[in-house]
Chains A and B, each alone.
Chain A
Amino acid sequence: MDHILSLLVFFPALAGMLGFIVKKENIKVYGITVATIEFVLSLILWLVFDPSNGGFQFVEFIPLIPNYGINYYLGVDGISLFIIILSTFITLVGLISLNIEKNLKNMIISLLFLEMTMVGVFVALDAVVFYIFWELSLVPMLYIIGYWGGELRVYAAIKFFLYTFFGSLIMLVGMLFLAYLYYLATGTISFAIPDWHRLILPYDYQIWLFLAFFLGMAIKVPMFPFHTWLPYAHGQAPTIGSVILAAVLLKMGTYGFVRFLLPIFPDASVALIAPIAFLSIVMVIYTAMVAYAQEDMKQVIAYSSISHMGVIVLGTFAMNVEGIAGSIFLMISHGIVSGALFMLVGNIYDRRHTKLLSEFGGLASVMPKYATIFGIVLMASVGLPLTIGFVGEFLSLMGIYKISAAYAFLGGTGIILGAAYMLRVYKLAFFGPLTNEKNKNLPDLNWKELTSLVSLVAVIIWLGVNPNPVLKPINASVESMLQLMEKKAITKEAKDIFAHNKVELEAK
């Protein structure tokens, strides 16, 4: 069990390399097998994970460039555990529902490489290792969008790559500077994230470094106003690309907020709550309104994705257990729900080769199973109680309510607007008369599509009814992180906020 994380990271990539030898006709079976093994591995990780321990577990440490403080340093805690399982789960489900004909082998190998980078980002405890996987994840995604995408695919792929690459380079400078500050403080240079967590920085350094890291991660999230690459990427990407992009890749940014920004720069995080909350609220409301106006089903979901990410950021910057744990839960639920939505849009696109809402109407009568599943997922996306979407949104907003009722109220309007645009989609596509001739003979979901979608729906309802198995380990890690932040806080505002948390925790 000592090397389970390395195994989790490199197994898909090694399997992907062997995949070059597998015959073209059988590559999909191979891909699904590999993804299943990987998923089972991640479940084993959950099984042996100690949920009461808030620290890092299964730590692996191999010096890479010891003189420059760069080490192969992996570990997992409650915050990252479920995002890892989400990554392996979504990859598996995505592979099952995959129905691309063109150059399938390269697609599956790219997906397996992408899986390596996704898991790698979430288990890395060394900033350079984190950065390596963070950047490397762009390459397979570039290929997936750029080769299998729609008409403007090359433009969308390059925009996606350059935007993120630029942001992360600025973040890299921030990392280098932080390592140097660590050197000044302790006499040894280190890129280890747990080391950085212990470092207390002067306030003005915190602000600048916060901004450098924030830029890199905000582009990935994508925060308003850096979100413009996402609708293009989603618009052009093939279904599987959108699923992985929305479900996992965007989470890298918000995961980075929780892993880097909050514990390393607690004072700057507290000081910047207001501007970030402002950006998030703009993001929630503005993109929800844009989503309402879209004619293309996929664009609606792309913008709704941005809108939900805004709630995640709000929860993260609530600086209390409910908010942060809620936002991490929301990352997972949003991953599952948006993945399912993109798959559903992909299903209808495969049948009709169009995603325009005006082409549809009355689908409920020809595709009842499809309509049912779409309905359940839609309810989860809107945040209906007893679905997975409710828990995270509720906790995030409750967390931010403690900071300011106005933030929570404005963030909450996102849910209302979300209900409006999602129900509009549902009304236009599924209800009303079946006018379009082409829709009259559409086949309902086949067993492959059903397998992947039903498994997603099962998770949606299971975690919606009983979120505790996931929330408990998250809570333990978030609590220990908040304790650390409280110890580190130097400004008065930050001390007040964290002291408040402490009182509440003790009251429990």
Chain B
Amino acid sequence: MEPIKVSLESLNLATLFPMLIAVGGGLTILIIDLIKESLHKSLYVMIAILFLALDLGAVIGLDINTRGFFDVMFVDGIAYLSQIIVVVASMLFIPLALTSKRFHEFSLPEFFALFLFMVAGFQFMVASDNLILIFVGLETASLALYTLIALHNREKSFEAAIKYFTMGALAAGFFAFGSALLYGLTGSVEIYKIAEVLADRSYEPMWVVLLAAAFMIAALGFKLSMVPFHTWTPDVYEGASAALAGYMSVVPKIAGFVVAMRLFEFLIHSDVTWVRDILYLAVVVTMTFANIVALVQKDVKRMLAYSSISHAGFVMAAIMIGTTQANSGLFLYWILFLFTNLGAFTMLWISRHKSQIWHDRFDHPYEKFSGLVQIMPMAATIMAIFMLSLAGVPPFSLFWGKLYIMGAAVNSGYIVLAIIMAINSAISAYYYLKLIVYMFMREPISDKQVVYFKNASLSLKTIVGISATFTILSVLFISPLLNYITEVVRVSGF
């Protein structure tokens, strides 16, 4: 037996540093808790932000298109970009723990440790083209997320966590089946090798390839809340705190999109048109169905849940189109969506109140926002801008994302798809407008004590300010951002 010699150089541990920093941060928080108990949450938040900042630094220092750690780590342009999105989004969401009201889960250091583990999980998921490592990353992140939801410690949160866990487990099963089939077909778990082998034998036997693709679509469909695998989304968002719901609508999905992009792109560009057709169908159904259901929601948070399903469908179209322009559009859209949705959910989070219950069933019924413009004109205006942005009214940020993805669709000959997207934007305008109507055109409900913004603190207001600035002034930075994204996506060959 020859001893296997592995030089440290060839491991290229730099690719692993970002995740290690996040995990190390989580462990540090746990150790601090062991040494001194009952520290204030602001300490943990700041430590988490510090480690995330280090993490971000480590990501930015990476060279694009390198492999590392026995070639299971793979840092190409989209891995690089999506890791930045994940970490920046996490840095923006974690200060939402600093509410002025006390919430149970934020007094636990475990919350912040789990949060950092989850970030590491998502980073593993995007920075690899090895199905096993993707699976490990997915499960690390998901398990942490289930717990984070349950920590909110309300009846609905447990329901949400269990629902998400059950559905997530099913999805994980699908993912494992799909991976096993692909491995059985090709003898490899690395996506680029799978693509090569399948291309060599011209995708025979076809039915196994299709079965594997079906399993993968179902697995990722759960994570990306594509219809018909979306049923958990509104309940889970409702049960989770608004801050976490906002996080869930952005970060796990970008990780899912990256995996979907890696997995489906070669299938879409091959002769297996079935994958393209089924994705086309899924995209259209997801957008349309979610939009129609969102029309009848009575609770703003549930409305936003369905809206985020619809946005995910919209963006999934970019993967289905599969050109560089479309894939760049995906990242552009999601970065813009990150800020707008962050803002919208933070506004909900700010208006959250534990004892003042507006509705026996919902936390954020539309009535709660009646006449907000007369009580808090600034807040109402900002919330309205987030809603207009989500609806795609120019010049607010998401308009540019929609414009670019619809442009990509048109440029690739998907005119009908572009028209469906346009019609869906028009449908979605209705439910976003509904909130604006409540805020601007109704009188405040006078018999309720005014409770708006009881939860506001400096850090929450800062986050809202940042989101609003990005949403309003997006036109100024779209061009450099788009150039950068396009460059990064192009070098990774998507």
Contacts and interface: CB of A to CB of B under 8 A. Distances in A.
Given A177-B410, A179-B407, A169 B425 contact: yes
B429 A162 contact: yes
Interface in B422-437: 422-423, 425-426, 429-430, 433, 436-437
B418 A173 contact: yes
Interface stretch (A59-67, A305-313, A491-499): A59-67
Interface string A123-148: 00000100110011011001100110
Interface in B420-472: 422-423, 425-426, 429-430, 433, 436-437, 440-441
B433 A161 contact: yes
Contact of B475 (A64, A106, A131, A143): A64
A138 B392 CA distance: 13
Interface string B379-411: 000000000100111110001100110110011
Given A67-B486, A154-B441, A180-B410, A169 B373 contact: no
How large, as a class, is the contact surface on chain B? 35 or more
* A interface SS class: helix
A154 B430 CA distance: 12
B429 A165 contact: yes
Contact of A158 (B407, B415, B437): B437
A176 B407 contact: yes
Residue picked from B394, B415, B425, most chain A C-beta under 10 Å: B394
A409 interface: no
A169 B426 contact: yes
A68 interface: yes
Interface string B243-261: 0000000000000000000
A68 B482 contact: yes
Nearest to B426: A166
Contacts of A139: 388, 393
A120 to B, nearest CB: 10
Contacts, number: 93
A138 B441 CA distance: 15
Contacts of B478: 64-65
A153 interface: yes
A172 B406 contact: yes
Nearest to B481: A65
Given A68-B482, A131-B394, A132-B394, A173 B406 contact: yes
B411 A106 contact: no
Nearest to A172: B422
A128 B400 CA distance: 10
B393 A157 contact: no
Contacts of A142: 433, 436
Contacts of B273: none
B417 to A, nearest CB: 10
B419 interface: yes
B10 interface: no
A169 B392 CA distance: 10
A236 to B, nearest CB: 11
B479 A162 contact: no
A180 B408 CA distance: 9
A135 B430 CA distance: 15
A146 B403 contact: no
A68 B407 contact: yes
Interface of A: 63-68, 103, 106, 128, 131-132, 135-136, 138-139, 142-143, 146-147, 153-154, 157-158, 161-162, 165-166, 169-170, 172-173, 176-177, 179-180, 183
Given A67-B482, A106-B377, A128-B394, 18 more contacts: A64-B475, A64-B478, A64-B479, A66-B479, A131-B394, A132-B395, A139-B393, A143-B440, A146-B437, A157-B441, A162-B426, A170-B419, A173-B415, A173-B418, A173-B422, A176-B403, A179-B407, A180-B407
30 contacts: A67-B482, A67-B486, A68-B407, A103-B374, A106-B373, A128-B403, A132-B395, A132-B399, A136-B394, A138-B393, A142-B436, A143-B440, A154-B441, A157-B441, A161-B429, A162-B426, A165-B426, A165-B429, A169-B423, A170-B419, A170-B422, A172-B403, A172-B422, A173-B406, A176-B406, A176-B407, A177-B410, A177-B418, A179-B407, A180-B411
Q: Which 3 residue pairs spanning A and B have beta carbons closest together? A: A169-B422, A166-B426, A132-B394
